[in-house]
Amino acid sequence: MRFESADKRIALVVAHPDDETLAAGAHLKYWPNLTIVHVTDGAPRDGADARREGFSSVAGYAQTRGEELGCALREGEAEHAGLIEIGVPDQEAITNIGHVIENLREELAGSEVVMTHSYEGGHPDHDACALACRAALPPHVELWEFAGYHLRNGAIENGEFLGADGAEIREVLSGEDLRRKEKMIRCFRTQLGTLSQFRWDIESFRRAREVDFTQPPHPGVLLYETWGFAMNGQRWREYACEALRCR
């Protein structure tokens, strides 16, 4: 596990319960001073995801997602991690971006390293985390990002960065690390339909790149635009522009 800042005070800022596991599950046990910040509660307010999994309420679905997270951290030997939930609704991080940034400014104050999603058009909440962490980053704090998932040539790619240049830390998991991560992912029973689309054996990190959030992360259709979300890339960038006061 080659992450060079592993012993520092790390804040891992992710959009949903399970993002920390898919992105860095095998590493979490090796980060002794870890706080995980979840920006959303993982429960879209339209209730479609809750109903799909047999829940009668969004609140019950959100509670179960939290319980799944607890299971994953136990299986991943990462129960030492502190947990912070900002709690905005799933799929609505960008529409609440001011609230997210304000909360992160407070929660990240004692960190030495902040790690979050890269800007890649995989999910609007992921991209909102990338923006919010940059806006809220305390002075002299290292900003890192992990590879999530995005569209490339019409197919879902995960664990690989857009614009990779060879400077990334890219771990291909095997042995006990992979087995531990697999057990973590299987804790998220409500999410296995989604998580089964991705490779679980790659975790990639890099120093955060400069990003222009007023431009698409890549040409063409974004992955979340194929999923029927209310948010699309153009609207997302309008909210980002407002948050960045670029008008």
The per-residue pLDDT for range 118-130, each reduced to its tens digit, is 999 999 999 999 9
CA 217 – CA 201 distance, rounded (Å): 24
CB distance 158 to 33 below 8 Å: no
Q: Phi-psi region for residue 88, left (φ > 0), alpha (ψ -120 to 50) or beta?
A: beta
Asked if residue 109 is part of any domain, the answer here is yes
Residue 5 lies in a domain: no
**Overall domain count for the chain:** 1
pLDDT in tens, 17-71: 999 999 999 999 999 999 999 999 999 999 999 999 999 999 999 999 999 999 9
Range of the domain at 122: 10-244
Instruction: Supply the CATH number for residue 26's domain.
Output: 3.40.50.10320
Phi, psi of 155 (to 5 degrees): -125, 155
- Look at residue 247 in the predicted model and tell me its pLDDT: 43
Per-residue pLDDT tens over the stretch 179-204: 999 999 999 999 999 999 999 999 99
The answer to the question of residue 102 being in a domain is: yes
- Closest by CA position to 75, among listed 21, 15, 11, 148: 21
Residue 220 lies in a domain: yes
Judge whether 4 lies within some domain.
no
Distance spanning both ends of the chain, measured CA to CA: 43
Alpha carbon 226 to chain centroid, angstroms: 19
Q: What is the pTM of this model?
A: 0.96
Q: How far apart are CA 151 and CA 11, in angstroms?
A: 27
- Residue at token pair 């992990």: 146
